[in-house]
Structure 1
Amino acid sequence: MLGAVTTLREQVEQAVLPLDVPEVATGRATRDALLKQLDDYVIPRLRSLDAPLLAVVGGSTGAGKSTLVNSIVDAEVSRSGVLRPTTTTPVLVHHPEDAHWFSDDRVLPNLSRVTGAASTGDGVDALRLVASRSLPPGMALLDAPDIDSVVSANRALASQLLAAADLWLFVTTAARYADAVPWDLLRQASERGTAVAIVLDRVPPEAMADIRSHLASMLREQGLSTAPIFGIPEAALTAEGRLPEADVARLRSWLTALASDARARSVIVKQTLDGALGSLDERATVLVQATEQQAQAVAALQREADAAYAEALANVEHGMTDGTLLRGEVLARWQEYVGTGEFFKQVESTISKVRDRITAALKGQAPPSGDLGEALQTGVAALIAAQGQGAAATAARQWRRLPGGDELLDATEGLSKASPDLSERIERLVRDWQGEVLELVRGEGKDRRTTARIAAYGLNGIGVILMLVAFAHTGGLVGAEVGIAGGTAVLAQKVLEAIFGDQAVREMATKARKRLLEHVQELYAAERVRYERALEGVETKEGQARRLADAAAAVKAVR
């Protein structure tokens, strides 16, 4: 059992819930409560079944908890008074022989140990240890802060201490025994099987029977019918500020008998421990669901980032084949490159005439291919940059719609737009691709005849024409542009076919488009990594929910 519970504790600690998804507050509270109960009670008790029974004295503000503890041990061990809250630092009273059980961090490991005279600077992060021979060995009393304290830290500590108890010694009054807050905690005790005893304080003697009867019926309704009730009548305190001896005698005798009877103590410990172990399964299920929601949120964010850049890549591919890159400047430069409109009329003659016309244009006053190449380079770079910027904006917009996305965008600088050096990398990408296109031309022009033809047109000129052919489709053009681009496609195609042949031209154009698309894919993948890194920082571990569920099932199996 100890091994199974220890494994569960490890999995609970690893089940971090960093994203603010719906209901995450419930998951985080459940995780914190599980860790505290495992650390403060379940694991320490499993490791030390023979340790003294710890009775935590808890209750509402002004119920008289500290006065009761002082009266039981007949000494001023816990401050009492009319100012609220009185108990801020919990006080654990034990027999001197039991000191070793509580001086280390066996129980309540997150609280530092203090001894000696009480100090106002102890605070809620300390546990004051007081040795008293008035308390029998085998039993310790822990005076906890008010469960309904005006100080939130005191309320949280009170709940933590009650979860660390073998026995709840619950103190209430005749005026407040039906209050909602105490009964919320008593219902928790019932659900977890925690052993409970009720101290009904400050009861008018004439009303004792009626109030005890009513309280007993309320306890039965909550499944706490076996909880003993100790009534303390309303009376003046002694000169030392304690309850009259006769009023606490029955409670002290019960505690003394319990401490002296190892079998009775073991029954209470077993009841509370079994209840605590039984409650682990339900709360672990809540945490499993919360962990699954975290993983689902991370996956959804990842899908949106992937989809944004996949769409950008698809748009670039479409833009490479729909005529987009042959608009405006590129068309104008092409016309300048091949000459006037007279040239298009001669295109439909023979391939030899096409070759002769292009040769004449290159040897005459036609602008160099560099102008056309620059126009193409600018167009390709603009297409890739626009889609890259759009992908970043789309990913950020979708993340803000999803749980956890806002906080990640706010915490990670620059995710709402493309990387600052994107334009520089795109320019380098296009230059590299143009170099590869020239290598394609060189690779196809190995024999003397082809080499001579390439030399006639110029290597750079042939490379630019090949780029044009790679993009020469008319799907995205309208009006007069269709005719111009169509003529451009036919002319460029025939020029290259005259040099390389039709099959080689088709293969070269396909390779050129494919290589450009591969470069763009690598570029966008590098951009997408920024979102992956942001999600890696979320610390959700793959398979965490399953490991947590398996650990909880293992505890249930050995119970």
Structure 2
Amino acid sequence: MTTPDAAVEPADALVTALTALQHCVVATAFDLVTAEQPDRRQLRDRVAGDIAGHIARIRDIDAPLLVVLGGVTGAGKSTFLNTMVGRDVVATGPVRPTTYAPTLVCHPTEAEWFTSDRVLTELARVETDSDVRDVGPTGAAVLRLVRSGTVPPGLALVDAPDVDSVASANRELADQLLDAADLWLWFTTGGKYADEESMRYLRRARARRTALGVVLTQVHRIDLPEVRADFIGKLADEGLPDARLFTIHVTAIRAGRLPVGVGDELRTWLRRLADPEARRAHRTQTLEGGLDAVPDDVGQLIDAVGDELHQVRRLQVDVDHAYDGAEEEFAASLDEGMPLRGEVVDRWDRFVGGSRVLKLTEAATGQARAWIRGLLANAGLIGEERRLEQQVRVAVADTVTATAGQLADLAATTVVDAWSATPAGRSLTEREPGLVYRSSEFDERMASAIRDWQQHVATLVASVGAERRAQARVVSGIVSLAATSAILLAMAHAGITGAEAGIAAAAGAANQGLLVKLLGEGNLRKLVADARADLLQRFNDLLADERRRFVAMVAEVAPDPEHLDELADAGEALMAVRGG
């Protein structure tokens, strides 16, 4: 024999597992805007609500049985509830919908079971004898509570909106109520019993093994045997051969109620459900069926989160493709050359070609030092070369900055175009229209990076070639600056690819001679490779910040990949507790 304590322990373990799973389900945000987002959020909310209902049933197995009167338009749910209570509790009539806010009727001594948020936590409670119809569609968030001594203790009846209501909020509310029910009392008519919408709900009840009673109404007496037999056959075909079927023939409705004697069999059956053993049996049936459905529900959520992660990865791939491409294009522009202003290039070529710097370099030996010092004292000559060197630096900075800006714009536009092809991406770009361009601070930051890079090149020129440092000190007023400018110009304008390409292809004969004389070909190759790598890194660092604008937006709506494992683990923990 099972002791009370032994029975409590499995129940406690089950509640613990369900509570942990519920937390995981509620944490499933579905923030990514997709065509499936509304359905996925609805699934999440339904599963969370179902689990809350399971917990309530386990904790309060002997609570009043929650019977939800659901079904199609015009089937007489409200009329039957009025008849069961013995007075006009809810409005009836031909105008649809007749039910906006659902009405729950229970025995006065059991109202506390439903005034709290034990069940139907999303619905605010309103206690009134007047129908809450004037609230209109916003009343979907309200559960009207009516106390009536004509309803037997152990039973609570809920008049739900029509599942085929013209108001979508009513349809959603009907589903919510049916999901919370311990027992469905399904109403359909002689004209709608075979409709797909009606059958879909009955299949749902069968799949979840929900306790069920079926009421067929609006059938003329003469047609009742034939229609009833046909309906029984269809129920059997849907796997519901044992469903309890009641019929109410076409009859006159007076004061919103059925005539005396009509529906007595159904009322008697409902009253018997109030018996403790009967309601425990029906609640347990619905609970077990609902728990059996949880793994499939969780599996659907896991699949949905997995698909969301896949779509997030696609958005991230779009970003990586665009910005990786910009990095490659910038590197290629260094190899191929950028279009500098022609007059600056021409003046530099004439300056180098005039051999003044080369002569200084060749003369930087012991016997010519005095001549060089005299030449360096010529302020006019030094000033001219310094001005030209400065022009080279400015031209290189402007050109490289412009090229970088164009590539940053192109990358941003490429991402926006790719994202605009999907609902998820489009929702992100619409939030930030400026994403199609590079950030406002990019040009200033790039110009600063170029200035730092030019200084880095100057430092390299001053440090490379240990055997030539003595002469570099002698001619540092012109030669070091000239070498720096020659390298900057070569890298930006003619293009330079490193040691394998040679100097001639990069700088032209005059620059080649100058650079080789000043630094040596081996040192020059090393210096150029270093300078190129440094410039690429500076550009890539700035581009990474541009990339992060998009990455951050994706991160805001992306699910945590670990959430998949959390959902799966919580689902498996529940199955383990149940012995599955």
The answer to whether the Cα contact below 8 Å between 2:309 and 2:558 also exists between their aligned partners in 1 is no
**For residues 13 and 539 of structure 1, do their structure 2 counterparts lie closer, same or farther at Cα, with a shift above 3 Å needed?**
farther
Q: Supply the distance in 2 between the matched residues of 1:201 and 1:532 (Cα, whole angstroms).
A: 59
Q: Supply the distance in 2 between the matched residues of 1:532 and 1:385 (Cα, whole angstroms).
A: 19
Q: Supply the distance in 2 between the matched residues of 1:467 and 1:334 (Cα, whole angstroms).
A: 12
Partner residue, 1:48: 60
2:92 to 70, 80, 85: 80
Residue aligned with 1:370, SS: helix
Partner residue, 1:242: 257
The answer to whether the Cα contact below 8 Å between 2:71 and 2:163 also exists between their aligned partners in 1 is yes
Q: Give CA deviations for 1:342-361 in whole Å, capped at 9, x if unaligned.
A: x59x98x99737999x9799
Q: In structure 2, what residue type is equivalent to 1:373?
A: R
Q: Supply the distance in 1 between the matched residues of 2:115 and 2:326 (Cα, whole angstroms).
A: 64
The answer to whether the Cα contact below 8 Å between 1:473 and 1:489 also exists between their aligned partners in 2 is no
Partner residue, 2:11: none
Partner residue, 1:58: 70
Q: In structure 1, what residue type is equivalent to 2:572?
A: A
**For residues 354 and 406 of structure 1, do their structure 2 counterparts lie closer, same or farther at Cα, with a shift above 3 Å needed?**
farther
Partner residue, 1:491: 513
1:121 to 117, 134, 138: 134
Q: Percent of aligned positions with the same letter in both sequences?
A: 35
The answer to whether the Cα contact below 8 Å between 1:12 and 1:31 also exists between their aligned partners in 2 is yes
TM-aligned CA deviation for residue 254 of structure 1: 1.3
2:283 to 226, 245, 269: 269
Partner residue, 1:163: 179
Instruction: Decide which moves more: 306-315 or 156-165.
Output: 306-315
Partner residue, 2:233: 217
Q: Supply the distance in 1 between the matched residues of 2:101 and 2:163 (Cα, whole angstroms).
A: 13
Partner residue, 1:102: 114
Partner residue, 1:411: 431
The answer to whether the Cα contact below 8 Å between 2:62 and 2:279 also exists between their aligned partners in 1 is no
Pairing 1:65-464 to 2, within 5 Å after superposition? 65-118=77-130, 119-122=132-135, 123-238=139-254, 240-260=255-275, 262-324=276-338, 328-329=342-343, 331-340=345-354, 343=355, 352=362, 367-368=385-386, 369-402=389-422, 404-444=424-464, 449-455=470-476, 457-464=478-485
Say how many residue pairs are matched. Answer: 544
**For residues 309 and 329 of structure 1, do their structure 2 counterparts lie closer, same or farther at Cα, with a shift above 3 Å needed?**
farther
Q: Supply the distance in 2 between the matched residues of 1:442 and 1:289 (Cα, whole angstroms).
A: 62
Residue aligned with 1:516, SS: helix
Partner residue, 1:505: 524
Residue aligned with 1:247, SS: coil
1:465 pairs with 2:486: yes
Q: Supply the distance in 1 between the matched residues of 2:528 and 2:228 (Cα, whole angstroms).
A: 95
Residue aligned with 1:401, SS: coil
Q: Give CA deviations for 1:202-260 in whole Å, capped at 9, x if unaligned.
A: 3333333222222111111111122111222333345x442233223222221122212
**For residues 402 and 70 of structure 1, do their structure 2 counterparts lie closer, same or farther at Cα, with a shift above 3 Å needed?**
closer
TM-aligned CA deviation for residue 270 of structure 1: 1.6
Q: Supply the distance in 1 between the matched residues of 2:90 and 2:140 (Cα, whole angstroms).
A: 14
TM-aligned CA deviation for residue 444 of structure 1: 4.5
The answer to whether the Cα contact below 8 Å between 2:364 and 2:471 also exists between their aligned partners in 1 is no
Q: Supply the distance in 1 between the matched residues of 2:510 and 2:565 (Cα, whole angstroms).
A: 61
Q: Give CA deviations for 1:525-559 in whole Å, capped at 9, x if unaligned.
A: 11111111211221422322232233233333333
**For residues 553 and 329 of structure 1, do their structure 2 counterparts lie closer, same or farther at Cα, with a shift above 3 Å needed?**
farther
Instruction: Identify unmatched segments of 5+ residues in structure 2.
Output: 1-13, 498-503
**For residues 86 and 323 of structure 1, do their structure 2 counterparts lie closer, same or farther at Cα, with a shift above 3 Å needed?**
closer
Q: In structure 2, what residue type is equivalent to 1:413?
A: P
The answer to whether the Cα contact below 8 Å between 1:331 and 1:485 also exists between their aligned partners in 2 is no
Q: Give CA deviations for 1:383-429 in whole Å, capped at 9, x if unaligned.
A: 22222222222222222234511111111231111012221111111
The answer to whether the Cα contact below 8 Å between 1:78 and 1:91 also exists between their aligned partners in 2 is yes
